[in-house]
Amino acid sequence: MQNVKKHQHSQKHIKAISNRLSRTIGHLEAVKNMVERNEDCSKILIQLAAIKAAVNNTAKAVLKEHLAHCIHHTCSEENKQSIEELNKAIDMFVK
């Protein structure tokens, strides 16, 4: 295995992803409360669909950042391991 250098992301990117995740966590907690209050299943499913979309959009933002910074950097260094790791992560995400 090659020694992969640790990469850095901007504080702006980290904050944006952290904010997205915080909103999604809050939304999930709200849906949990809906379940505990025995609210209508249709309303719960609609909220779960919104959470699923939020998670997918967050993943898309992470992937775009990864392609723009990490993969671009490693390609310039001819680091094939990073490409393989990205492919595995994408495979796991789209299951």
Q: Which two tokens stand for residue 47?
A: 């909220």
Question: Using one digit for the tens of pLDDT, what is the confidence trace for 3-51?
Answer: 445 667 889 999 999 999 999 999 999 999 999 999 999 999 999 999 9
- Angle formed by the axes of helices 11-36 and 41-65, to 10°? 170
What's this model's pTM, rounded to 2 decimal places? 0.73
